[in-house]
Amino acid sequence: MLVHARDGGFDLFIDGRAILRHRPDAPCLFLGRGVERMEMYRGNFDIEDYVVERVPLAHAVVTASEDGWRIDCAAAPGSPIRLTLIVSGDGANGTIAIQSHDPGANRFWLRLVAEAGEHLWGGGEQMSYLDLAGRRFPLWTSEPGVGRDKTTAVTFEADRTGRAGGDYYNTNYPQPTYLSSRRYALHVETAAYSVFDFRHGAFHEIEVWAMPERIELFARPTIADLVTAMADRFGRQPRLPDWALEGAIIGLKAGEQSFQRLERYIAAGVRVCGLWCEDWVGLRQTSFGKRLFWDWQANDSRYPDLKRRIADLAARGIRFLGYVNPYLCNDGPLFAEAETRGFLATTAEGATYLVDFGEFDCGVVDFTIPEACRWFEDQIIGENMIDLGLAGWMADFGEYLPIDLELKSGADAKLMHNAWPVLWGAVNARAIAKKGRTGDIVFFMRAGYSGIQAECPLLWAGDQSVDFTRHDGLVTVIVGALSSGLLGNAYHHSDIGGYTSLFGNRRTAELLMRWAEMAAFTPVMRSHEGNRPDENLQIDQDEATLAHFARMTRVHAALKPYLQTLAGEAETMGLPLQRPLFLHHEDDARAFEIWDAYLLGRELLVAPVWQAGTNERGLYLPAGTDWIHLWTAERHRGGQDVEMTAPLGQPAVFYRADSSFGEVFKALAAL
Amino acid sequence: MLVHARDGGFDLFIDGRAILRHRPDAPCLFLGRGVERMEMYRGNFDIEDYVVERVPLAHAVVTASEDGWRIDCAAAPGSPIRLTLIVSGDGANGTIAIQSHDPGANRFWLRLVAEAGEHLWGGGEQMSYLDLAGRRFPLWTSEPGVGRDKTTAVTFEADRTGRAGGDYYNTNYPQPTYLSSRRYALHVETAAYSVFDFRHGAFHEIEVWAMPERIELFARPTIADLVTAMADRFGRQPRLPDWALEGAIIGLKAGEQSFQRLERYIAAGVRVCGLWCEDWVGLRQTSFGKRLFWDWQANDSRYPDLKRRIADLAARGIRFLGYVNPYLCNDGPLFAEAETRGFLATTAEGATYLVDFGEFDCGVVDFTIPEACRWFEDQIIGENMIDLGLAGWMADFGEYLPIDLELKSGADAKLMHNAWPVLWGAVNARAIAKKGRTGDIVFFMRAGYSGIQAECPLLWAGDQSVDFTRHDGLVTVIVGALSSGLLGNAYHHSDIGGYTSLFGNRRTAELLMRWAEMAAFTPVMRSHEGNRPDENLQIDQDEATLAHFARMTRVHAALKPYLQTLAGEAETMGLPLQRPLFLHHEDDARAFEIWDAYLLGRELLVAPVWQAGTNERGLYLPAGTDWIHLWTAERHRGGQDVEMTAPLGQPAVFYRADSSFGEVFKALAAL
């Protein structure tokens, strides 16, 4: 890090890259006050800010110190110092610590130097846009929305009926961290609502609705090195266990019928590594349909003799997975226990805070109470789940913490809202660690925030709509995997066939097949019946779909040795399994434009067909190598656009001509 | 006006009413800079502001002078003075002139003292809400939107296909002027984009995207006196001519067939005072449908021998009306003449600026060029229209001035955009005045801004959807009449049956009848075929509708002596014909809640049925008099809610038991 006082202001560099440029007539810092309006509707937020004050801190005085620099900032010469920046660090890692001297200030804006043509990635798990340039991204964990595109009828209906349509920036997993194509990364250490605004051209602007603790900077020679730096900073996932690579996890929620239905998959040649029954806790009938019973213990009437059946499956090499979330329904026994022991968050008046989830109310386990965490870890996850034999689960939610409840720690719920997914992930991770099962048991989360990397072994892309739409369909899984992967989340997967079927939107066989053939080229294959199983096509209801799926599970299983190698790269270098093309082709400008295709490791290039009704897929083959088409073995020169025939079962997948895994890949076409 | 320096700040009063309260820790003034994004799509605007700076001017120094007070405002003691307020005036009328000393500042915010339970009205012609309390109103002339309610399918489709859905605050006629129930009015003298923000409870906030010239204040003992003050300030309309009260103006656009169709109306007993043919200029075929040919002269092939036919009608006491707008299509001869003479606005590069209206392009007559105005007034309106025999016209548009064109005067188009409707109105008014026909020829406009009162003799409520919807249907006409009326616009009317039929939305006979029976109790009755005549029911296509309409025109014509008296009140007192209940019932708190019923003058209370499928209408009868039901002669005590039976043809209308027009009203039931 280097700070030059200059022209009455200063320039700040890391390893030669200009990051801040401050002049009295063009300050980079603004301080102020805002009054926000935040309303939550079942995890969807309506947020609006009334900015009362936004004062440029035009006057900055730089003082060199032993460890770095101190920059005192005021509105004008002679005015009180309102903010001090403490700058430290070397050419690789730097820190700008923020000290506010204005207790009334609750808004912070910082302008960063922008360059023409700069690409920006990150912001957590973004579902619509990999490159953040040119857009504004509020960073607040929430439901991502149904449709996420104000021009579609599904979004309109979701908005109209539940304010649930969402927009391009809504995500379960935001994170105020970005990577720049200028080979630096920036992280804002805060849990407050924040915004990355990349619309301005001449500068980027970061907005935080609190004083952030610090800005962290990372400079590296390559983008891959930056990703390693992210993984070093935010934590690594345990290595994905081999069992999860050996086939698909079949999602069924038919009670004990699930076991019989599983046999149909196996009989059809599906390679099965797990059976996932989220209804292991039983069901509740509501006018909306069947919902899970949110009291986290096996339901004997829906799954009689479950422990034995789990053991029977395990003997055949098939794991059993379940479901849990951080709420407790108030008509279940765990709620009563948690309430008695004071483990539930409260209202301002001290009553148990209840969240309405649609004809049932739930308490919120207060993870700021260490004893409550221990109870959840040991009794619920440890005894009720792990001891029963569960090898994994969906750790659902995390993004709904109401902002008007009281936490025992006294922390402001608005400042804990973004942090909540990480607390929730940590409860799951600790519960597994206490049993010594880290790296064996796998839970998967959709919610996240800075630090989820160290807690959650596997992201899941949330609840896509059961369609091919640009902002809520199949293709958003690619964007989610790539954006989160660049921040150090190595493992990502999705619900095969999508989840959300509303307003007449239904799964087609084509969608199921396209999704399965993409999922085969991701770390984990897992199916989901969706939110309305009875109204939507299931894999085992259609022979062609089932056969297609079976073949894709064989392809996936055959990739195991390659995926194991990639898991090693995740462990040693923090590299994600799914990677943007530019991660290995930094010198190819075209690679920076691609967001709907990816590298699986360095060797495989995957371009899923993500639109309906087409057997064609155009893509760009990066320069520097020849590429072998997986299904035809045709060799294509890199550095060109190709238009591939990609019928069902043959997504556009290539491997490097020079790959040491050539034999593994070559064998896939015959499966 | 009175300014008290106090507690390091000041209080400003007019006639005992606290208007401004300024303290160092709670300043009322903010200055700053913003960078707006404004995009226009055929009169619909997408507007967003990036506020770079918003600095509280916490330090104010008050100096008394001979004429009033000078208040110098700075961010802090010792900081430069950035703004000076020059306060003058007496207990009735006050002025706060604004002098900025900061050439970079382009945003101005002022907080006004608010009181609990305060009602606020005005903001121009507001279509959704009469009482502005609790909401935020951007003030920018534009299309009002189709649907204007983000929860309706019509709005969604309009947004999706043309960004044209609109919202509650969009209006053809905004005006930065409000009346408060605290018996004062406030006007911001500016043509810049501004916002009235009444959401904050503790204060109101005015936002202006420029330094406003001044804030004007008016204090009066009653609300009616405030309305008079508005009419005095902004100008009076000429008295509506008697001919316009003698029946309905029939809107037909069937070329010369219109004359035959008119006979059908007359034969059915319709009282006709005018025939309005907007297609007098001829038609143009586009893929959207038939459009008018925007070259303002009679089209001989569509209307052969028009001058004679107009004279024939006039001999029967029926006026002929036409249509004009401030654009000229570039395939018409007037465009060529205007371009040659340099009367058209240009691009930054000096080329003629063309506006795309959908398969045809138009030039914009530059009304900042006096010679261009004279040409439009004398040659187009004077010769082509008045000399032809036109007794009136729709003076359409005014709200579309593109913000990126160049005007000869050098004025910024962004600052002229709001002023444009008034310039357009003035061209029409002057053209008529030059012929000595003021008060005889009537033109009607939908667009407006501060000062339109002095130019336009008759407002028209714009293009409602052909339905009963809350935000774009029949009822919005009431809100439009009442809100604009309080600002001194005495005469208001609407398209009977609405105008906009899109996305499968079609006129019903019920709608036509409900609209006609409301229009009978407004200053002017005028029908419109709508934007898609062939797909929508026309009055003369249905016997029942035609008979209903005929009866309502007789009711309207029978009201002539009463309406003439009201026209006198408009002339002498500036009172609008349609008045909110509270205008004559200021002591009745319930009267302040009513927005969907109105007084026509002091004597008649009109509560139209504005919802579909009902024969009931609930309403509140103000206290202080008994009310006689128009159709049954039943007497009802004032100061109570009543639920009236209101079948088609019997809207809930009452007259005061003590009315001197009792005989006139009594006779209506028998018509």
Q: What is the mean pLDDT of residues B585-602?
A: 98
Q: Do B626 and B508 belong together in one domain? A: no
**Contact in structure between B425 and B456 (CB atoms under 8 Å):** yes
Q: Catalytic residue among B11, B399, B467, B529, which?
A: B399
Name chain A contacts of B53, Cβ cutoff 8 Å: 30, 54-56
Provide the pLDDT confidence category of residue B287 given band limits of 50, 70 and 90.
Answer: confident
Nearest CA in chain B to A56: B53
**Contact in structure between A416 and A424 (CB atoms under 8 Å):** no
Nearest CA in chain B to A205: B52
Q: Do A501 and A642 belong together in one domain? A: no
- Give per-residue pLDDT as tens, A221-235: 999 999 999 999 999
pLDDT at B532: 94
- Give per-residue pLDDT as tens, B213-228: 999 999 999 999 999 9
Last residue of a domain, one of B568, B599, B621: B568
Q: What is the mean pLDDT of residues A298-321?
A: 98
Q: Do A559 and A584 belong together in one domain? A: no
- The Cα of B603 is separated from the nearest Cα of chain A by a number of Å equal to 42
CATH of the domain at B62: 2.60.40
In a domain, A356, yes or no: no
Q: Is A503 on the interface with B (CB under 8 A)?
A: no
In a domain, A333, yes or no: no
From B53, B54, B79, residue closest to A76, measured CB to CB: B79
Name chain B contacts of A160, Cβ cutoff 8 Å: 150-151
Contacts of range B334-339, beta carbons closer than 8 Å, 24 or more positions apart: B334/B295, B334/B296, B334/B297, B334/B380, B335/B295, B335/B362, B335/B363, B338/B363, B338/B365, B338/B372, B338/B375, B339/B363
In B376-441 the beta strands, taken as DSSP E runs, fall at 392-395
Q: Do B98 and B81 belong together in one domain? A: yes
Distance CA B191, CA B409 (A): 15
Q: What is the mean pLDDT of residues B86-106?
A: 97
B399 belongs to the catalytic site:
yes
Q: Do B563 and B636 belong together in one domain? A: no
Neighbours of A124 (CB within 10 A): 28
pLDDT at B173: 98
Q: Is B161 on the interface with A (CB under 8 A)?
A: no
- The Cα of B61 is separated from the nearest Cα of chain A by a number of Å equal to 18
pLDDT at A288: 77
Q: Is A56 on the interface with B (CB under 8 A)?
A: yes
Q: Is A179 on the interface with B (CB under 8 A)?
A: no
In a domain, B246, yes or no: yes
Last residue of a domain, one of A560, A576, A592: A576
Residue B389 has pLDDT above 90, yes or no: yes
Q: Catalytic residue among B396, B406, B495, B517, which?
A: B396
Q: What is the mean pLDDT of chain A?
A: 97
Q: Do A150 and A266 belong together in one domain? A: no
Name chain A contacts of B75, Cβ cutoff 8 Å: 55, 75-76, 79
pLDDT at B76: 94
Distance CA A219, CA A544 (A): 50
pLDDT at A102: 95
Nearest CA in chain B to A31: B53
Interface A:B, Cβ pairs < 8 A: 50
Q: What is the mean pLDDT of residues B140-155?
A: 97
Split into its structural domains, chain B has a count of 3
- The Cα of A189 is separated from the nearest Cα of chain B by a number of Å equal to 23
- The Cα of B55 is separated from the nearest Cα of chain A by a number of Å equal to 5
Q: Is B202 on the interface with A (CB under 8 A)?
A: no
Q: Is B207 on the interface with A (CB under 8 A)?
A: no
Q: Do B11 and B135 belong together in one domain? A: yes
Q: Is B286 on the interface with A (CB under 8 A)?
A: no
Q: Is A25 on the interface with B (CB under 8 A)?
A: no
From B32, B56, B76, residue closest to A79, measured CB to CB: B76
- Give per-residue pLDDT as tens, B267-278: 999 999 999 999
In a domain, A82, yes or no: yes
CATH of the domain at B653: 2.60.40.1180
- The Cα of A338 is separated from the nearest Cα of chain B by a number of Å equal to 40
From A54, A75, A153, residue closest to B54, measured CB to CB: A54
pLDDT at A289: 79
> Cβ A56–B51 below 8 Å, yes or no?
no
Q: What is the mean pLDDT of residues B602-612?
A: 98
Last residue of a domain, one of A209, A233, A257: A233
Q: Do B492 and B593 belong together in one domain? A: no
Nearest CA in chain B to A54: B54
Q: Do B109 and B207 belong together in one domain? A: yes
Nearest CA in chain A to B25: A104
What proportion of chain A, given as a percentage, has pLDDT over 70? 100
- Give per-residue pLDDT as tens, A164-207: 999 999 999 999 999 999 999 999 999 999 999 999 999 999 99
Residue B192 has pLDDT above 90, yes or no: yes
In a domain, B423, yes or no: no
Q: Do A267 and A134 belong together in one domain? A: no
Q: Is B53 on the interface with A (CB under 8 A)?
A: yes
Joined together, the tokens standing for residue A445 give 């989360």
Residue B288 has pLDDT above 90, yes or no: no
- Give per-residue pLDDT as tens, B236-246: 999 999 999 99
What would you measure as the largest C-alpha separation in chain B, in angstroms?
A: 81
Q: Is B55 on the interface with A (CB under 8 A)?
A: yes
In a domain, B354, yes or no: no
pLDDT at B65: 92
Which residue range forms the structural domain that includes residue B52? 2-234
Q: What is the mean pLDDT of chain B?
A: 97
Q: What is the mean pLDDT of residues A338-367?
A: 97
From B54, B78, B156, residue closest to A51, measured CB to CB: B54
Q: Do A162 and A299 belong together in one domain? A: no
pLDDT at A574: 98
pLDDT at A537: 98
- Give per-residue pLDDT as tens, B319-371: 999 999 999 999 999 999 999 999 999 999 999 999 999 899 999 999 999 99
- Give per-residue pLDDT as tens, A439-449: 999 999 999 99
CATH of the domain at B293: 3.20.20.80
Q: Is A660 on the interface with B (CB under 8 A)?
A: no
In a domain, A447, yes or no: yes
**Active-site annotation of A, residues:** 396, 399, 463
B69 CA to centre of own chain: 36
The Cα angle at residue A178 between residues A176 and A180, in degrees rounded to 5: 160
A300 CA to centre of own chain: 33
> Cβ B52–A51 below 8 Å, yes or no?
no
Helices and strands (H and E) in chain B: how many: 14, 39
Provide the pLDDT confidence category of residue B411 given band limits of 50, 70 and 90.
Answer: very high
pLDDT at B54: 98
Distance CA B454, CA B238 (A): 8
pLDDT at B286: 87
> Cβ B32–A54 below 8 Å, yes or no?
yes
- Give per-residue pLDDT as tens, B467-504: 999 999 999 999 999 999 999 999 999 999 999 999 99
Residue A135 has pLDDT above 80, yes or no: yes
Q: Is A201 on the interface with B (CB under 8 A)?
A: no
Q: What is the mean pLDDT of residues A471-487?
A: 98
Q: Do B205 and B277 belong together in one domain? A: no
- The Cα of A108 is separated from the nearest Cα of chain B by a number of Å equal to 12
Nearest CA in chain A to B58: A53
Q: Is B103 on the interface with A (CB under 8 A)?
A: no
Q: Is A6 on the interface with B (CB under 8 A)?
A: no
pLDDT at A287: 83
Q: Catalytic residue among B125, B295, B463, B517, which?
A: B463
- The Cα of B40 is separated from the nearest Cα of chain A by a number of Å equal to 18
From A55, A151, A153, residue closest to B55, measured CB to CB: A55
Q: What is the mean pLDDT of residues A585-601?
A: 98
- The Cα of B160 is separated from the nearest Cα of chain A by a number of Å equal to 5
**Contact in structure between B505 and B467 (CB atoms under 8 Å):** yes
In a domain, B554, yes or no: yes
Q: Is B651 on the interface with A (CB under 8 A)?
A: no
What would you measure as the largest C-alpha separation in chain A, in angstroms?
A: 81
Residue B13: HSE in the Cβ half-sphere, 13 Å Cα cutoff: 10
Q: What is the DSSP string of B186-205?
A: EEEE--S-EEEE--SSSEEE
> Cβ B56–A54 below 8 Å, yes or no?
no
Nearest CA in chain A to B30: A53
> Cβ A52–B53 below 8 Å, yes or no?
no
- A263, burial (CB in 10 Å: exposed 0-12, middle 13-18, buried 19+): exposed
Distance CA A35, CA B27 (A): 16
